């Protein structure tokens, strides 16, 4: 974890005054409409388009009639599908734009008892570019994810071929590394780029101030300053449910293909020991992982349905497959106080199941299977009657905390 983890209870933010702002058509909602909003929820994921829901009171007690669905004359068109919307969430002194999108659906509720409500659904505006799924690969091209984003944006939209036909405003990290093999497997081009962006904690959105649709792909000043949070059970973790499962784990992946130049078969095996060595695991970690791997270490996954034209390509494919499985060894769902910067694609450090902090904030104790670095794959931010809470799903993605 490159950035030093920050215990959230040591920061200046009080977490006492959660608030949200909603802009529709570029204008902030009037106070009389804001006062009818019961709950705002924002969801993001490393492999899907951001979404939101807004639950609104739909009953006018003074007029004894519905407000928004069916609408009174003064509220007509407020939440019409297709309207542009921005969602901001945070606290009195710290508020963030979570997404810019459009309203995609309305869900009125007329219950047997209780007041009527209206749920407004929406998606990030990038969802309009989910036009056709493609399968494509970048092999032996040493391209960074920013290079791939440029390539996809510059290609015109053409049936049967990848391409977004967008201008692009790239702002990559200086240390962004190139990959020799990148594979897009039956995905929408824009969703594929969302996945690649969140591997680096990048922002990806359409820049509205440009004269033509322009995709921002990179790191803004806000995201570059985003902290890596340190969350501790009993202090900053409200709930934590980890799962360690070996059911779908394997000890090795073998890729078989055919080298057409040499006219001979290809077979490459990549093992857990190879993976741990490349990940530079400590001896303590390897000892513990070896103990766990006794349950599945003799299982091998064989890949024959993807083309591998030489041994180097086969090794990269085997490594990618084993890494993907190994990332699912320990996954967790958790909740904490609302943190607008805790989003999919970021990292957190989890403590409290072995390693704990004393009154001065110093860490002590021994490590456990569940202490360590986690990569956030999904997050849900909710502001409502119970305040502001962030729930997230994460996978163990780094070393245990050693003290």
Task: List the beta strands (DSSP E) in 81-166.
Answer: 84-91, 94-109, 117-124, 133-143
Instruction: Give the residue, 286 or 122, on which the prediction is more confident.
Output: 122
Instruction: Give the residue, 347 or 336, on which the prediction is more confident.
Output: 336
Instruction: Give the residue, 301 or 142, on which the prediction is more confident.
Output: 301
DSSP one-letter code for 202 = -
Query: Which of 326, 345, 364 finishes a domain?
Result: 326
Would residue 273 count as lying in a domain? yes
**CATH number of the domain where residue 94 is located:** 2.40.10.10
Average pLDDT over residues 337-355: 88
Structure tokens at 298: 């003799």
Statement to judge: residues 321 and 271 lie in one domain: yes
Statement to judge: residues 257 and 320 lie in one domain: yes
Q: How many CB atoms lie within 10 A of CB 318?
A: 25
- Which pLDDT score, from 0 to 100, does residue 147 have? 95
Would residue 116 count as lying in a domain? yes
Statement to judge: residues 384 and 338 lie in one domain: yes
Examine the pLDDT at 238 and tell me if it is beyond 90. yes
pLDDT, tens digit, 9 for 90 and up, residues 348-375: 999 988 766 666 666 666 567 888 889 9
Statement to judge: residues 322 and 334 lie in one domain: no
Q: How far apart are CA 24 and CA 35, in angstroms?
A: 15
Statement to judge: residues 113 and 163 lie in one domain: no
- Which pLDDT score, from 0 to 100, does residue 224 have? 45
Confidence of residue 127 (pLDDT cuts 50, 70, 90): very high
Domain residues for 95?
A: 6-124
| Helix (H), strand (E) at residue 265 | strand 264-271
Number of domains forming the structure of the chain: 4
Statement to judge: residues 278 and 209 lie in one domain: no
- Which pLDDT score, from 0 to 100, does residue 119 have? 98
Statement to judge: residues 16 and 29 lie in one domain: yes
Statement to judge: residues 320 and 333 lie in one domain: no
Among 14, 11, 13, 33, residue whose Cα is nearest residue 23: 33
Among the residue ranges 50-54, 139-143, 319-323, the one predicted with the least confidence is: 139-143
Average pLDDT over residues 327-336: 94
pLDDT, tens digit, 9 for 90 and up, residues 246-285: 999 999 999 998 888 888 899 999 999 999 998 888 888 8
Would residue 320 count as lying in a domain? yes
Statement to judge: residues 240 and 271 lie in one domain: no
Query: Which of 59, 92, 124 finishes a domain?
Result: 124
- Which pLDDT score, from 0 to 100, does residue 403 have? 39
- Which pLDDT score, from 0 to 100, does residue 223 have? 45
Statement to judge: residues 218 and 234 lie in one domain: no
Average pLDDT over residues 366-393: 91
Contact 17, 79 (CB under 8 A): no
Statement to judge: residues 376 and 240 lie in one domain: yes
Examine the pLDDT at 234 and tell me if it is beyond 80. yes
Examine the pLDDT at 4 and tell me if it is beyond 70. no
Would residue 388 count as lying in a domain? yes
- Which pLDDT score, from 0 to 100, does residue 402 have? 44
Query: What is the signed CA dihedral for 107, 112, 117, 118, rounded to 10 degrees?
Result: 10
Query: Which of 106, 124, 142 finishes a domain?
Result: 124
Would residue 403 count as lying in a domain? no
Q: What percent of the chain has pLDDT over 90?
A: 61
Statement to judge: residues 102 and 147 lie in one domain: no
Would residue 369 count as lying in a domain? yes
Examine the pLDDT at 47 and tell me if it is beyond 90. no
């Amino acid at each position: 974890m490159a950035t030093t983890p920050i215990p959230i209870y040591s920061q200046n933010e009080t977490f006492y005054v959660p608030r949200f702002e909603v802009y529709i058509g570029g204008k902030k909602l009037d106070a009389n409409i804001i006062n009818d909003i019961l709950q705002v929820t924002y969801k993001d994921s490393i492999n899907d388009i951001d979404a939101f829901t807004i639950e609104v009171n739909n009953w006018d007690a003074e007029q004894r009639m519905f407000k928004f669905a069916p609408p009174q004359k003064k509220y007509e068109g407020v939440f019409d599908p297709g309207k542009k919307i921005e969602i901001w969430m945070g606290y009195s002194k710290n508020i963030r734009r979570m997404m810019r999108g459009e309203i995609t659906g309305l869900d009125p509720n007329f219950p047997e008892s209780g007041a009527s409500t209206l749920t407004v659904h929406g998606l990030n505006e990038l969802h309009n570019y989910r036009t056709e799924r493609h399968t494509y690969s970048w092999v032996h091209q040493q391209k960074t994810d920013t290079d791939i984003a440029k390539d996809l944006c510059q290609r015109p939209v053409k049936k049967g071929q990848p391409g977004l036909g967008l201008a692009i405003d790239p702002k990559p990290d200086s240390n962004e590394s190139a990959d020799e093999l990148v594979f897009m497997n039956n995905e929408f081009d824009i969703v594929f780029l969302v996945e690649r962006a969140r591997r680096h904690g990048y922002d990806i959105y359409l820049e509205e101030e440009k004269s033509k649709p322009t995709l921002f792909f990179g790191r803004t000043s806000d995201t570059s300053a985003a902290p890596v949070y340190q969350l501790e059970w009993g202090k900053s973790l409200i709930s934590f449910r980890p799962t360690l499962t070996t059911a779908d784990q394997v000890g090795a992946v073998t890729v078989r293909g055919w080298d057409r130049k040499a006219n001979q078969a290809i077979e490459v095996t990549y093992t857990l020991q190879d993976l741990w060595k490349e990940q530079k695991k400590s001896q303590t970690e390897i000892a513990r992982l070896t103990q766990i791997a006794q349950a599945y270490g003799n299982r091998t996954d064989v890949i024959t349905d993807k083309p591998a034209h030489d041994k180097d390509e086969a090794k990269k494919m085997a490594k990618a497959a084993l890494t993907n499985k190994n990332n699912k060894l320990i996954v967790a769902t958790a909740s904490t106080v609302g943190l607008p910067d805790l989003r999919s694609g970021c990292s957190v450090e989890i403590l409290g199941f072995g390693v704990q902090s004393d009154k001065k904030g110093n860490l002590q104790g021994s490590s456990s299977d569940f202490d360590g670095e986690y990569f956030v794959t999904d997050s849900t931010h909710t502001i409502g009657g119970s305040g502001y809470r962030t729930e997230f799903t994460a996978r163990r993605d780094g070393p245990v905390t050693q003290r």
